[in-house]
Structure 1
């Protein structure tokens, strides 16, 4: 009996060290302050079907990987800076670009070996259409714009903002989505670009369905990812891969159900 008690005490003493060796039990994840239905929704709102597609996916993946989530909300540029400093362990959602390798570690990415991001670990596949007035003369063929008058806008720090600048189509003012769509509706901006489902939800929320349309050709199509900080990945590479794998598995298993519930 005494030997059994001694063995139990030894296990209890060693357990914290074992858990520490395996890595942290929580991920500090940062995402944007502004809610973007159907991907992130206000907490404790009985009128919504849940916290949002991305939050559900990430929470399910964390549970599968044996982790809890410390959710943090900040302006997007602060999330990026926090990731670079290692003040948070990950940010979402973001599109990979080569220059963003400095932000953090994207799943499967190895710049030195030329290894691309592994898209099976993506959060979601998205596209970014152009919202315009229904009576607009603006056209977009996937390569260039015609009949620009005021320019187009997109949130600062987004890849769409950079793409509009490269095309010479960026308006001088950077706007939040609700303000941008209202300016388009009032005829003071040629168009606004944000993810399709977010755009549709905002247009409905602002009661602008009669004034606005989405052009058939999107500005871009891409995958959203959840990069982890270089510090976290260097110290816990196996845990990082386990989490990304769980994320991919949860998306494959639940995508149809989430689309049905959040995108009726």
Structure 2
């Protein structure tokens, strides 16, 4: 069972004042990248529930600022409801956002790709993994491995579908907290929780207060990419590539873990 890493660091502005790692073969630019992200808090990525950018903005914003500094790009941050960010990228009024690769977005997004056209995960902005969380006294691994057994998994309504064990049934609930309540009470076998960030096993600190365990390895992992608008990429193709190349070099994995457990 991998060691779970729970970070207890206290966030201060000095904690993230680190010099970005140098990026080879880059040049300064007068280009401005207008980046849109949601006006709701989504830790560890974005902090604050407003259109304002707080002093401690979230790990993804710090990461983006470091990559922009390394490549000489001027960065303009805009906070809007998520669907408006997507609409802005499609109509080229927004230059960039962070999102997963989805079929319905392919016609208006540009992201780093391999020679075969597949997304280049080595240049992804971030990675997350989801694990099944279950009561400590409920041996769901044995149930999953026994095809004659059956397990129930609660997930919040509206979440994107992910692959589940063949003998699992999904139960939709109104919130993540409700799903956890059902697990703790024994009414369902499991739910899904974040359990990995950028390749490091981790969990949100509040889970330590519940009688639940996480089952590794993750049953699902996804990658977020710096999605650029068609207009920005056409105007700055070389600079776009430099930005994507800078992302893995300016990634501070520990900072994401610190933000995972920040308290308001």
Query: With structure 2 as the length reference, what TM-score do the two structures score?
Result: 0.65
Of 128, 131, 156, the residue aligned with 1:129 is: 131
SS for the counterpart of 1:96 is coil
Q: Equivalent of 1:95, from 83, 95, 100?
A: 100
Residue pair 2:151, 2:167 contacting (<8 A) in 1 also: no
Which whole-Å deviations, capped at 9, do the CAs of 1:160-201 have from their partners, x for residues lacking one? x2434998633234x443343334333344322242158832
* Whole-angstrom CA distance in 1 between matches of 2:167 and 2:86: 25
2:47 is the alignment partner of 1:41: yes
Cα distance, 1:166–1:258 mapped onto 2, change above 3 Å: same
Q: Among residues 153, 156, 159, which one is paired with 2:155 in the alignment?
A: 153
Residue aligning to 1:30 = 37
Aligned equivalents of 2:126 and 2:186: distance in 1? Answer: 32
1:216-259 residue CA offsets vs partner (Å, 9 max, x unmatched): 231123433222223332333223222212222212xx44x536
Which stretches of structure 1, 4 residues or longer, exceed 6 Å deviation after superposition? Answer: 165-168
Hey, which of these two has a bigger chunk of helix by percent? 1
Displacement of 1:68 in angstroms is 1.2
Contact kept in structure 2, 1:30 and 1:88, CA below 8 Å: no
Is the partner of 2:151 in helix, strand or coil?
A: coil
> What is the count of residue pairs matched by the alignment?
223
- Aligned residue among 61, 64, 75 for 2:70: 64
Could you tell me which residue of structure 1 aligns to residue 109 of structure 2?
104
2:32/2:74 contact within 8 Å kept: yes
Partner of 2:245: 245
Q: What SS class does the counterpart of residue 170 from structure 1 fall into? A: strand
How far apart, in 2, do the equivalents of 1:146 and 1:166 lie?
A: 10
Answer yes or no: is the 8 Å Cα contact 1:130–1:218 preserved in 2. Answer: yes
Q: Is the 8 A contact 1:185 1:211 kept in 2?
A: yes
**Aligned residues: CA RMSD:** 3.8
- Cα gap change, 1:165/1:85 in structure 2, threshold over 3 Å: closer, same or farther? farther
* SS of 1:104 mapped into structure 2: coil
Shift in alpha-carbon separation, 1:185–1:74, aligned structure 2, 3 A:
farther
Residue 214 of structure 1 deviates from its aligned partner by 0.9
TM-score (norm 1): 0.65
1:80–1:103 contact (8 Å) kept in structure 2: no
